[in-house]
Amino acid sequence: MSRIDAIYPTDRITLREVGLRDGLQLARAIPSTRAKIGWMKRETQAGVRHYEIGSFLPAARFPQFADIEAMLDAGERLDIHSAGLTLNERGAETALRTGLHEMVCVISATDEHSQANMRRSRKSAVELVGKIVTMRDNDAPDKIVNAGIAMAFGCSIAGEVSHDEVIRLAETCLAAGADIVGIADTVGYAGPKQVGALCARIEKLCAGRAFIIHLHDTRGMGIANAAAALDNGARVIDASLGGLGGCPFAPGATGNVVFEDIVYLAETMGYRTGIDLAGLKAARAIAEEAMPGERFHGTLNRAGPPPNISWKASRAI
């Protein structure tokens, strides 16, 4: 089994907690390092194993990620799989010297968003993936490189994005040596038909290797889109506790898909997540206390799972 298959197998589903990265990007109240570690620890106890723990970006501009080394240490103690955003060579250099497991590169599906988000062309963003792969090969061959395609379902700046274009970009990233690609509905434009259709094509492209679907619930479609993704080969889903999250360059793009609700969805669909909902509730309480004034989403957290029914009989993968 290759390294990537061991981390993201295709014979079960993996939920990636991105709240500690995407969820803090726009946060008004930045939680303390202690609270972030407490949240991650409790969520790990609930069964979550994969985390985006921060970004390798200048601490002066992104104080919410200044403690990434402490988060990495905590992640190592908790024995989780840690991913971090590396948006430039300098960030990648830093990341390569740490115990981080996964370097996340972002490529925008449109040049317009690429310039606004990363001040580089789309072409340059793809080239950066290749450079980071080479750096990784030389310095830390155990790390994996994840190439996420932002705005894959429509762009808040440029509008429509064709599936052909996204497939071409994903293909280029894989050719450049990325271990896994992801497609992101960064601004929550898509409905389940769009997500299902693009996932089916990405699955075919990845030919037996997992890919990541990253959804925002901006227009209420998050769970429906996750269901469509699962129905069309997606086995790795990004989500955040309470649906925290957004993108500073995508106005109105508040809220990743709610982690708790994704767990419930998966269970009703017959996928076993191994994640304990009561434990997630406890982790959410830690995050909520640490981020006063922040809006947490999701109704499952309030209602709880049904006390007198189970989906054990549901279709397994």
What residues act catalytically?
247
Q: Is 183 in the site for a second copy (CB under 8 A)?
A: no
Q: Is 78 in the site for a second copy (CB under 8 A)?
A: no
User: Dihedral through CA 121, CA 123, CA 125, CA 126, nearest 10?
Assistant: 170
First to last CA, the chain: 20
Q: Hey, which residues between 231 and 260 contact a second copy (CB under 8 A)? A: 252-255, 258, 260
Nearest to 62 by CA among 81, 85, 39: 85
Q: Is 278 in the site for a second copy (CB under 8 A)?
A: no
Size of the site for a second copy (CB under 8 A): 51
Q: Which neighbouring-strand residues pair with 75?
A: none
Q: Hey, which residues between 91 and 110 contact a second copy (CB under 8 A)? A: none
Q: Is 188 in the site for a second copy (CB under 8 A)?
A: yes
C-beta of 115 vs 268, nearer to a second copy: 268
Residue with tokens 């080969």: 233
Among 54, 84, 154, 242, binds a second copy (CB under 8 A): 154
Dihedrals phi, psi of 257, to nearest 5 degrees: -65, 145
C-beta of 249 vs 264, nearer to a second copy: 264
Q: Is 226 in the site for a second copy (CB under 8 A)?
A: yes
Among 9, 47, 177, 270, binds a second copy (CB under 8 A): 270
The window from 17-25, 63-71, 91-99, 190-198 that contacts a second copy (CB under 8 A) reads 190-198
137 three-class SS: helix
> How far is the CA of 253 from the CAs of 23, 182, 187, 249, in angstroms?
11, 18, 5, 9
The CA R_g of the chain, rounded to the nearest whole Å, is: 18
| Contact between residue 100 and residue 81 where contact means Cβ atoms under 8 Å apart | no
The minimum distance between CB 13 and a second copy, in angstroms, equals 14
Binding string, residues 294-313; x marks residues near a second copy by CB under 8 A: ---xxxx-xxxxx-xx-x--
Question: How far, in whole angstroms, is CA 65 from its chain's centroid?
Answer: 16
Q: Is 158 in the site for a second copy (CB under 8 A)?
A: yes
Among 194, 232, 256, 273, binds a second copy (CB under 8 A): 194
Nearest to 8 by CA among 75, 83, 89: 83
Q: Is 219 in the site for a second copy (CB under 8 A)?
A: yes
Q: What angle in degrees, to the nearest 10, is found between the helix axes of 122-139 and 163-175?
A: 30
Q: Which residues bind a second copy (CB under 8 A)?
A: 154-156, 158-160, 187-194, 217-221, 223-224, 226-228, 252-255, 258, 260-261, 264-265, 267-270, 297-300, 302-306, 308-309, 311, 314-315
